[in-house]
Structure 1
């Protein structure tokens, strides 16, 4: 808290994965005004933190009730870092509120570029499409084989692939299926998760 501590290293350490208060996220999103999109796990809102970082704040639906389990699972997800995965900055768990805070990705989701013919989004060239496919494959390979916690995404689709300002892909919503489980682990593994048409082949295996 001392004002003389303003060096870059301190800023990096203090701004890493952390717990946010609901009031803090309410202020950052201007009472959840600007919705970026919504899906099965909840709606996403644009926000700006006190340190001027732009973030995406997701209100999580259908999450497991145990606050401690929720915190421990998210702390694992928060340690995962790869250039083709959306960076998770932190979370909020207060009473019935459960929110996830991640980096804001400038160009939105891949589905907007591919399918929204009314938008002014540029048409992707074949080279860009190839780089996006390759980046997504690298991100999934990391989740499946290289990170400490084995994660099956279960819902890889254009809506969950975000594009940064250079059109580099970043996979969003990884690890959330573990937070939505009901009952025993056996029950979780026996249920089909994800969107029809995009269900992970690992569930069949």
Structure 2
């Protein structure tokens, strides 16, 4: 990944792709589709180039970098900022799944792929990788521990519910301020299977209270009803059975309803 400045002084990010086996013609066709995707919560692809095995994507530059650089460090995000990030990310995925001219799966939603502008508005990055890689299952190797839905592990057919699961993990990270890998490590100590996240979180809340899962600093603001609503959305998204997970349009609806209560 490189930072660059164009002739018109526009700051951009240049990403060099590895492992893309498509020929130049196929790459140009797919990259053109991605460039035409335009939504305020999706990182804009300004351009691309291809020369045999050398393939580059040129994206808009966002001042605050990726969510993980703020979420897991000392910089503190309040509840409203976390809610704004959750809602914006959900709207970006909703566009990819249901509202755009081209149906796109992301397949790798995680804090590293959610960028923040100078107002901490989120934009989903790398949403076109599933179109550029010939073998979509190769993307599985890029996913970190804790983000992999059960259907990935069982090599089942992948659909939009994979993104819903990943989104649920990100939402849990937003609420707990703990990375997915730490949450899964804790889970592995208490359960034989690592895909029982819903059971683990639900039992924690029932037995020890919401404060055992939620970041303590958020509890100081104590909009308990809002926190409970966000946790409810989270638990729906990370259901083991993908048919039990909501669509992204339903997720956005639940988030908006929660904000108005």
TM value normalised by structure 2: 0.55
* Residue matched to 1:66: 23
Structure 2: stretches of 5+ with no match in the other structure: 150-159, 163-241, 244-261
- Tell me how far 1:95 sits from its aligned partner: 3.2
Matches within 5 A, 1:45-84: 45-84=2-41
Is the CA contact (8 Å cut-off) linking 1:143 and 1:150 kept in structure 2? yes
* Residue matched to 2:70: 113
* Residue matched to 2:155: none
Of residues 164-173 and 190-199 in structure 1, the stretch that sits farther from structure 2 once superposed is 190-199
Give the distance between the partners of 1:116 and 1:101, measured in 2 at CA: 28
Q: Figure out how many residues of one structure are paired with residues of the other and give that number.
A: 153
Paired residue secondary structure (2:107): coil
Of 116, 122, 125 in structure 2, the residue corresponding to residue 163 of structure 1 is 116
Encode CA deviations 1:13-56: one digit per residue, 9 max, x unaligned.
xxxxxxxxxxxxxxxxxxxxxxxxxxxxxxx1111011100000
Give the distance between the partners of 1:164 and 1:81, measured in 2 at CA: 16
Q: Whose helix proportion is higher, 1 or 2?
A: 2
Paired residue secondary structure (1:92): strand
Q: Whose strand proportion is higher, 1 or 2?
A: 1
Change (3 A) 1:71 1:110: same
- Tell me how far 1:198 sits from its aligned partner: 2.2
> Which structure 1 residue ranges, 4+ long, deviate > 2 Å from structure 2?
188-194, 196-205
- Tell me how far 1:116 sits from its aligned partner: 2.9
Matches within 5 A, 1:8-47: 44-47=1-4
Give the distance between the partners of 1:62 and 1:162, measured in 2 at CA: 23
Of 91, 97, 103 in structure 2, the residue corresponding to residue 144 of structure 1 is 97
* Residue matched to 2:153: none
- Tell me how far 1:71 sits from its aligned partner: 0.3
Of 112, 122, 128 in structure 1, the residue corresponding to residue 81 of structure 2 is 128
Encode CA deviations 1:47-99: one digit per residue, 9 max, x unaligned.
10111000000010101231100000000000000000000000011233100
Is the CA contact (8 Å cut-off) linking 1:154 and 1:193 kept in structure 2? no
Encode CA deviations 1:111-135: one digit per residue, 9 max, x unaligned.
0001134xxxx31111000000000
TM value normalised by structure 1: 0.69
Is the CA contact (8 Å cut-off) linking 1:177 and 1:193 kept in structure 2? no
1:198 and 2:160 matched: no
Structure 1: stretches of 5+ with no match in the other structure: 1-43, 183-187
